[in-house]
Every structure is written in C-alpha cells, then in structure tokens.
Structure 1
Amino acid sequence: MGTAAEAAMRRKTVVAASIGNFIDFFEFGLYGIFSAAIALNFFPGEGESSLLLTFAAFGVSFVLRPLGAVVFGHFGDRMGRRGTLAVTILGISVATFVIGALPTANTIGLAAPVLLVIARVVQGFCTGGEFGGATAFMVENAPEHKRALYGSWQMFTQFAATVIATAIGTILTATLSGAALNDWGWRLPFLLTLPLGLLGLYLRLKVDETQEFKQEAGNREPASAPIVVVLREHWRTVVKIVCFCIVGTTATYMISGFWPAFLVQRAGVSQSLVFTATLIGTLALVIAVPFWAMFSDRIGRRKPFLITSAIAIAVLAIPVYYLVLAGTTASVVTGYLLLNLALSVCLGSSATAMAEMFPTRVRYTGMSISYSVGISVFGGATPLILTAVVNGTGMQLGAAFYLIATAIVSLIGVLRYPETGGKSRTANTSTAKAEPQYG
C-alpha cells in the first residue's frame, strides 16, 4: 500500500473510531439542553420532582458503563477491536434514536419512562466499551510520531459534539414555538443519530484490524479472561488512571452539569450569559486540544502536560470561582475560558497516555475499565456532590475547594505515571516479561 493510500486509510480510521464517541457526547449535550422537554413528555408532574426523575434516568447509564467495559473489553482483546466497536456504535446510535422516537407518557403511560430508562441503560452499557476500544484502535493505527495527535480525537470529538449539540439546541429554540419544541422539535437531533451511527458502522467495517493487534494475536494466545489479567497484573495502572481522570471529569461535569443551575440560582447570572460563556470556553478547548497533542508527540506526555494541567486547575480553581460569581459578562466568560484552557492542556495527550500504559493484549479491557470507573464514579455524580458540598458548607466557594482536592488526587496519580511518550510500540508487544512494567 502506497503512502497516500496509507494516509487515506488512517484518516478513515480516525473518523470511524471517533464517531461513536461523538454520538455519545452529542446525546449527552442534547439530553441536558432538552431536559425540560424530556421531563414534560416522560415524567409529567410537579416541576422539581419531574426534573429529578429526568436526571435520574440520565444518571442510570453511568452505572452500566463498567459492566460494558468488562464485556466489550473481553471480546475486543480476544477477537479484535474492529468487530467489537461495530457492536458498540450500533448500540449507542440505536438507543439514542429510540429516545427520540419513544411515545410519551400521555400516550402509553408508565411504559414511556420505563422504555426511556432501558434506552439509557443500553446506551451506557455500550458506551462502556466505546472509549477504550476506539482509542486503542486509533493509537495502534497511528504513525509512531503521531500517536498523541490521533488519540486526541477522542477528546476533540467529545467537546466538539457538545458544541454542536448546543448550537442545534439554540437554533431549534430560536425557530420553534415553545409548544412545538416540547412536542416534537426536541426529537429531531436525537433521530439524526441513527444515520450518523450507520455511517460509523459502515466505516468501521471497511477498515482493517490494527497491525499491532494482529501481530499480538499471531505471537501468542489471547488472554482467556482479560479482566483477570488487568486486575491481577495491572491494577496499579488502573488506580493511577482513575486518579488521573478525577480532576478532568470533575471539571468537565462542573462546567456542563453544575454551573448552569448554580450560577443562575445562586449568583444571579443570566441563562444567556451562561450559554455564551459555555460556547466560548468549549470552543477554545476544542481548538487547543490538537495543538497540545502535537506538542506531546514531540516532548512527551507526563511532565509537560498531565502534570501541568492538574497544577493549573488547582491554582486557578478559586480565582475562576471569584470570576464566575462576579456575574459580569467579562468575568464569567474569562472564568469559563481559564478553566477550559487549563483542562485542555492534558486532553491532548491523556487518551494516548492511557492506551500506552497497557500492553496490547489487554489494552481494550484495561482502558475501558479504568476510564469507565473514573467517569461513572466522578462524572455523573459531580453535580450532586458539588451541590451537597455547597449546601453542607454554606460556602459558594466550597465547590472550588472540592475541585482543588480532585486536582491534588490526580496530581498524585500522574506523578506515579511512567513517561510513555518515547516508548516504541515494541514496548507494548507480547512478551510476558515486558508486561509488569506497565502495571
């Protein structure tokens, strides 16, 4: 295969691998934006209790992620990345489509919220096997000197999906009446995910299995139980990655899940200003991520980027909170920008750094379980935790101190990381003696 053909195939691989992650975070953004409409259609009743049930249905998907990580990781490490990822993207896209197509509670009664929860459960289960497998697929297909750039597309697509979901929500809100939006308008972007998912399925089935996986499979028998190998030989790596994920996950869900209600209710910031600041901050992050990734491919992962990001978030947490609580346009936008840019520093290399910590034979399982546990425990629960911290302490800055605590935990985990940026792929191959150095 010629150089041009190889480059074209690698580009196709990046799109195929990252599109599932895009759909997942696209739905996440849509669910938050249209939560009021979803509550009205599936949990009719008093305002606060209706919204509480709506967010409970959203949060249930996080519980199933670790189980999906174990199941899909098992097949991904034993049978291959490509086929396993075809199943995950189909499950994610169909489940998201079903949410947009479901009849309302007024039509089919209790069956409506039950089916909504089932769709969220299926989506969470499939999502548990998406990030680890897709990242492994991209990194294993990447040129040696561009592994961070390829892996960064996982984070790039997450936040780009949030931006696009927000933009679509804004357009629909501006062009439709409230009645039309709550009746059928909110469904349109959910329905779009099925053709998008089918496109991703087609692309995933058209690309080849990674050479790294095929070489590993040719050298030795796959692990009969990858999760057992991960927990027995690489449990320290799992702990390090969970610790590392805590601050980024907390900052992400603080921005998207906690601040919108907190700043409006407690600081008197307008919804429109929160929306504007979110878009500006997230766009800045999206633009910055690939640049940090390119630098990471040149100078390494751990010291320049993973450590710097944790320190920057810890240092900026309190100043950022003073800025957003001030409530002016300039201060709120600046606060959002600073926190997003501090977070972006690690996102360019974090996915690849996780992948490089596991040997090929258990990489899918190792990445999936580490990431899913971190996201499930410290992601979906972040708005609830931060609300409890603020209410319990009586301090609006309580959430900032919690963010500092998560940054310290992540910094401890990152300081225990080896530098993986300079390692050749041969360091991750099949020899049993080489594996303990990653755990």
Structure 2
Amino acid sequence: MTEAVTHQPGTMPHPDPSTMKRAMVAGIIGHFVEWYDYGVYAYVATMLAAAFYSDSDPTAGLLAVFATFAVAFFARPLGGLFFGSLADRIGRQRCLATVVVLMSVSTFIIGVLPGYASIGVAAPVLLLAARILQGFSAGGEIAGAASFVNEYAPRNKRGLLSSLLPAASATGLLFGAVLLTVLTSSLSEDAMGSWGWRVPFLIALPLGAIGLYLRLKIEDTPLFQALVSAKQADPTPLRSSLSEQFKWIAVAFGATLTYGVGFYTVMSYMPTYLKEVTDFGAGEMFIVTAAVLLAHIVALPLCGALSDRIGRRPVLITASIALVVLTYPAFVLIAEGRNMFVAILAGAVMGALIAGGAAPLFAFMAEMFPTRLRTSSVSIGYNASVMIFGGTAPFISTFLIDKTGSNVAPSFYLVAAAAGAVFTLLFARTGATTHRDVLRQT
C-alpha cells in the first residue's frame, strides 16, 4: 500500500491531493457506469415489452416491463445488506470494484437474451433474473460510493463532492438517452425493434471494464484504514446497525423519498411518459428529457455547495416543499403536449428541485453514522426506501394513468413522496455532523 495517508492518534487522516482526486474519479465514474447500465432499461421499455412479452395487449406488456423494473428493486436491499456489511468489514474499495463488474455483466446479458418469439415464457423469466442481478449490484453501489466519497472528502466540501454521485447517475441516464436517440434516428423502426435496442446493453461491458480499472487503482479510504489500524472494525455491522442506529436508518429512509421517487418518476420514466401521453416526435421527446437531465445535473453541485454553507436539512426541506407545491402544475404543462418549450421549462424546474433533494442527501446520510457502521446503515435506509417507493414509480405512474384516465396522475405520487420527506426532516436531527463526531463514534 502506498504511503498516501497520514494519520496521528486523535486526528483525522488526510489523503494527499493526488490520491483524493483519483478517489473522486474512481467513485464518480464508476457510479456513472453503474447508473447508465441500470437506467437504460427504462429508456427502451416499450421495445422490451414487444420483445419479451406477448403483443396481445401493449399496456399489459408495458406494465409487465415496469413490474420487472420494480421487482429488481427488491433485490437492492439484499445487495445493500450483503455488500454494505462486507464493505464495513473488508473495505469500500474492493466491494465497489466487485459491484461494477456484476452490474456490467448482468446488463450485457440483457442485450444478448433471446426474445419471447424465440423461447416463449423463458424470455421474461431470464429478463427478470438479469434485472435482479442488476438490483443486487445497485444495492451495494450507492452506499459504498457514498461512504467512499465522503470519507475521502474534506469536511467543507462533502456536500459538493458527494453531489457529484447523483450527477454521475443523471449523466449516465443522459448518455443513454443520447445513444438511444442516435440509434432511433439512424435505424428503421423494424431494425430498432429487432436488434437496435440491444446496443445500449452491449456497451455496458467495455464501460464496466473502465470502471473496474479505475476502482482497482485506488486504495481504501483514510477513515477505513484508520479503523482497521486501530482494530475497531465491527465483526457484525448489520446487527450493530439495526440495534444501535435504527432511529437514524429510519431518518435516512424518509429523507430519501424526494430523490428516490423524483429520480425514477421524472428522470428515468420521462421518455416513456412523453411517448405515452404527448404527441411530441422522437426529437422533441429527447430534447425535453435532455433538458430535464441537464437542469438536474447543473443544479446538483450548486445545491451541494449550498449545503456545505447552510447545512443539509435546510436544502433538503426547501426543495421538498417546493416539489409539493410545483409538481402538479408542472405535469399539467408537460401533459398538454402542445409546446415543447413549456414542457422543457416545467421539466427543468422539477429536475432542479429534485437536485435539491439529492445533492445533500449522501453527505447527510454518511454523516449520521459512525465509520464502522456507515455503509451497512446507509444501505439499509436508502435501499429500503428506493425499493418500496422509488423502483415502483414507473409502474405506479403507468398504473395510475391507466386506471384514472388522468395524464397528470404521476404527480400525485411524487407530491406524496416529497411531503413524506418534509415530515421526516422536520422532526429529525442528524447524528454525527462533524469530523470530531465521526472520529469519536469510530
């Protein structure tokens, strides 16, 4: 191990600037790879419905695709429990290298699966199995990356630097949207339906190799190394997390609602939503989706830096309240489908507000928990929230539109989620919020 970390008893270990920069790149680019792989599924949902399910009822097929999307989220807590516990026992870096391989391979598998016409009911079963593997990987990624980045970041930049994780997620989705738009405009409808949709999944393998290379080239975090040196690593972090940190896990669960539901309702589901409820052409749909993602990406570091100045909770609460007020009118403007620029403005506002619920979140969660239990505790709270409420968002949105006949029905779900986050944050205070507190709890 290189001598990149200096540590004296009673002080915070500090990495040198070069090591910290490489650590940020490894964590953030690896996160981009994970969420490109994970999110591209929603972008080709209608094509997956045609390829993997009977075409007798298009709505039923789309619901089945989103049900598969949602079921994969039930694997996330399992992956979070497994990799979170492992990361608290053997280190963050090795677990992050493992999950990026698992995600890339499972995504590649979707790209080579035969469809319903070839193998019948086995096709959706195999698709579900691949999605479960993706969910298992994603469960280990988010808490590991949040712990990794925050344990390297200096205190006064934690909000800013950890906001780059959701920015990487959104950039991964944007890359997927751009790629799909290029394919759609370059290929005929028959070609896209038969093989073109597979290309984004096949690209996962080389992207995963890049993520693996970067993560293998960086050593573990200074705080974890200090924990191991002091022989204070917890042998049973899951049990200790549930017995010692249950209150704060519940806070992490509630605080995640705005971002968890917002991300999958507005960013991930948006292309399908626009296709189903508006008359926009493919180019217009891409422009609206890209604008929403760009507004989200730009707002993330601004909100993260703001949380470093005024605190995590004020930013999270303000963004969530604003979403409660503005989500319904924004969906009304988008659903009208008459003016692309109005839809861009409405979507961009939601994207920016969701950034306010995302940017401080990972620093907020990481600071609540001691180093020895950090990854396990974040995994439980965050993944359980996303499993129950976030991963089901596209399915629930599609179901609500179908049953109510209202194209703005998805807004009700996001408003309820943001209100739940506000309720949690108003009645909760963070646990460890300073380096001194973190070291004391270590």
**Common fold, TM-score beyond 0.5?**
yes
Percent identity (aligned): 33
1:381 is aligned to: 392
**Alignment CA distance shift 1:324-1:136 (3 Å):** same
Q: Which moved more, 1:396-405 or 1:121-130?
A: 396-405
SS of corresponding position for 2:49 = helix
| Contact preservation (8 Å) 2:252, 2:381 | yes
Partners of 1:203 and 1:332 lie apart in 2 by 38
Give the CA deviation at 1:329.
2.4
Give the CA deviation at 1:145.
2.0
Partners of 2:328 and 2:402 lie apart in 1 by 18
Letter in 2 for 1:235: F
Partners of 1:189 and 1:396 lie apart in 2 by 29
**Alignment CA distance shift 1:176-1:318 (3 Å):** closer
**Alignment CA distance shift 1:203-1:265 (3 Å):** closer
SS of corresponding position for 1:186 = helix
Give the CA deviation at 1:37.
3.0
| Contact preservation (8 Å) 2:267, 2:351 | no
| Contact preservation (8 Å) 1:95, 1:123 | yes
Counterpart selection for 2:52 from 31, 42, 58: 42
The answer as to 2:136 corresponding to 1:125 is yes
Partners of 2:408 and 2:43 lie apart in 1 by 26
Residues 387-433 of structure 1: CA distance to partner in whole angstroms, max 9, x if unpaired?
55556666655543443332221012112343579x4323113x5xx
Partners of 1:83 and 1:50 lie apart in 2 by 39
Counterpart selection for 1:196 from 201, 204, 207: 207
Letter in 1 for 2:241: V
Q: Which moved more, 1:105-114 or 1:354-363?
A: 105-114
Counterpart selection for 2:333 from 323, 327, 330: 323
Give the CA deviation at 1:349.
1.4
2:288 is aligned to: 277
Residues 143-186 of structure 1: CA distance to partner in whole angstroms, max 9, x if unpaired?
23211122112100111111110000000111112222223222
Alignment of 1:293-312 (within 5 A): 293-303=304-314, 305-312=315-322
1:346 is aligned to: 357
Partners of 1:45 and 1:2 lie apart in 2 by 58
Letter in 1 for 2:354: L
**Alignment CA distance shift 1:108-1:142 (3 Å):** same
TM-score by length of 2: 0.89
1:151 is aligned to: 162
Q: Which moved more, 1:393-402 or 1:286-295?
A: 393-402
1:25 is aligned to: 35
Partners of 2:114 and 2:271 lie apart in 1 by 29
Give the CA deviation at 1:61.
1.2
Give the CA deviation at 1:31.
1.5
The answer as to 2:417 corresponding to 1:406 is yes
Counterpart selection for 1:163 from 153, 159, 174: 174
Letter in 1 for 2:104: S
Partners of 1:318 and 1:111 lie apart in 2 by 40
Partners of 1:411 and 1:361 lie apart in 2 by 29
Give the CA deviation at 1:108.
4.5
2:94 is aligned to: 83
Partners of 2:277 and 2:47 lie apart in 1 by 24
**Alignment CA distance shift 1:349-1:320 (3 Å):** same
Give the CA deviation at 1:66.
0.5
Extract unaligned runs of 5+ from structure 2.
6-14
Partners of 1:353 and 1:400 lie apart in 2 by 26
Give the CA deviation at 1:106.
4.0
Give the CA deviation at 1:54.
2.7
Give the CA deviation at 1:283.
0.5
SS of corresponding position for 1:128 = helix
TM-score by length of 1: 0.89
Letter in 2 for 1:246: L
Counterpart selection for 1:139 from 137, 143, 150: 150
Paired residues, what number? Answer: 429
| Contact preservation (8 Å) 1:152, 1:289 | yes
Partners of 2:213 and 2:188 lie apart in 1 by 37
| Contact preservation (8 Å) 1:301, 1:419 | no
SS of corresponding position for 1:335 = helix
Partners of 2:168 and 2:278 lie apart in 1 by 31
Give the CA deviation at 1:340.
1.1
RMSD, matched Cα: 2.6
**Alignment CA distance shift 1:151-1:417 (3 Å):** farther
Extract unaligned runs of 5+ from structure 1.
none
Letter in 1 for 2:195: W
The answer as to 2:249 corresponding to 1:231 is no
**Alignment CA distance shift 1:48-1:394 (3 Å):** closer
Give the CA deviation at 1:79.
1.0
Partners of 2:32 and 2:354 lie apart in 1 by 19
